[in-house]
Structure 1
């Protein structure tokens, strides 16, 4: 298998597992007494411990170097809090207050957020294709949130709030670890970030009683931790070693696709035509960002 094929496989399968995780979380939040904080704590601690152990087995010196170098440790802790924990918690809160397809699609506003952020930081107007992406994202969000009807909302204000925050968190998660991933092993960065975030959330495990769940429910929790977190994050981040972030982002579209198929087919989630069109417009921004644009020789 070529490096490119390996990268495509890792990104696609990782995104599919993420999509399945979102649908599993929707089921757990809507049909069991599980709290969001409890599931996030279990998810991050479980995946963090396993991934950290794997990274210690693979490259113990690399883990030691990651934890002892001042610059890398500071970046790791920042990534764990503002990237990993932030994206995990807000994504699950968005699912709790809406559903997996909606939360996952709103999360895909992250390219637009990155475009706006870079334009502000670099103090230059975005490219024309970026302008088109922003317009499509705004129109898509309008259709998704209102169902195409002015004065009405298909999402509650709190669902919209967590969805938009989730998109910001996803943008931070995408941008923050680039330097770390170039320097250190993916398992080490991902595992330690998960572990740190899980430790921060761990008090939730002591103040919340273990929920009464069926065997099938615990199986869903296991899927969220093992496949929807540990495997998905490792595969998706690992794909960056073989293909460009742009390609990885495009293949991430499998996430909302899988989440939507499962939620509509098995969880009874209903989506209007306007919501579907809005979702497609938002996802289109990811594909637009992959189009190579020739630089104008008259501009710097």
Structure 2
């Protein structure tokens, strides 16, 4: 029988790898097929939500319907569906559309630094030394990533940079908002229902049936990969890994997402990463390792 820890590590790597490949696939669709982020986000959330909710109902119907039996939790789930789930999906794909998958995915990893700032302000406690180090690493890394070391120029479009910062903010909300719901009902019901709610709302608002791309195997193959493997399976693999390994370990292994997105963007889509961009990316991703190390070596509850 496979070692549970090895199984957990494998799942925690596979999920982020699929996310990274999905981001690069989305960049290809935006550039070569002219699919809009509005359409892709709507379809991605709608179909993934349907599949995850169906999976949850088949495996544990009672548990997956439990949240709807409590009015306050149901309202909060709907709130999270828009402010957390839909916002994180939309800002991420807009950042890819306006910039590129590698930079968007790396900027998303600024979320631990934003959580540190929020907790310091809300608790009125000065951040720990390790938190200050993380903030300095994140700030320096961001400057190097988007300016190539020159404060007078941007190496990515302004839209890509701003949407990338939006991705970091929405990822922070996605991390902090559903903690009570996840503890009470589990990950599959909350992720599945929030995707379905966000997907239905986006689809109706954007009227996806009016923007269907012309049929090509490469187009719909790419969309299918983003929806099925880059969303449903990626979430299931990563969330399942948490039953075998600690969240801190999983968060470190989550760095495989920007690593895979960067490698594929450079290899197949011509994205250029020089010394400054690479150094900036390493500093930003390094905040995850610093925070995970601090969580393991501290008796305090980790903040991210």
Q: TM-score normalized by structure 2?
A: 0.93
Deviations 1:201-251 (A, max 9, x none): 012234633112420121000000000011111222333333332222111
Higher mean Cα deviation, 178-187 or 102-111? 178-187
258, 261, 264: which one aligns with 1:262: 264
- Note the residue ranges of structure 2 that are not aligned, 5 or more in a row: none
- Note the residue ranges of structure 1 that are not aligned, 5 or more in a row: none
**1:63 match:** 64
Q: Output aligned runs, 1:116-265, within 5 Å.
A: 116-203=117-204, 204-206=206-208, 208-265=210-267
**2:293 match:** 291
Residue 110 (str. 1) matches residue 114 (str. 2): no
8 Å CA contact 1:148–1:274 kept in 2: the answer is yes
Aligned counterparts of 2:84 and 2:137: Cα–Cα separation in 1:
26
Q: Cα gap change, 1:170/1:56 in structure 2, threshold over 3 Å: closer, same or farther?
A: same
Aligned counterparts of 2:58 and 2:69: Cα–Cα separation in 1:
18
**1:16 match:** 17
Higher mean Cα deviation, 154-163 or 16-25? 154-163
Aligned counterparts of 2:273 and 2:126: Cα–Cα separation in 1:
36
Residue 275 (str. 1) matches residue 293 (str. 2): no
Aligned counterparts of 2:106 and 2:31: Cα–Cα separation in 1:
19
**2:92 match:** 91
**What is the root-mean-square deviation of aligned Cα atoms in Å?**
1.6
CA drift at 1:64: 2.1
Aligned counterparts of 2:224 and 2:140: Cα–Cα separation in 1:
37
8 Å CA contact 1:77–1:193 kept in 2: the answer is yes
Which secondary structure state, in structure 1, belongs to the residue aligned with residue 93 of structure 2? helix
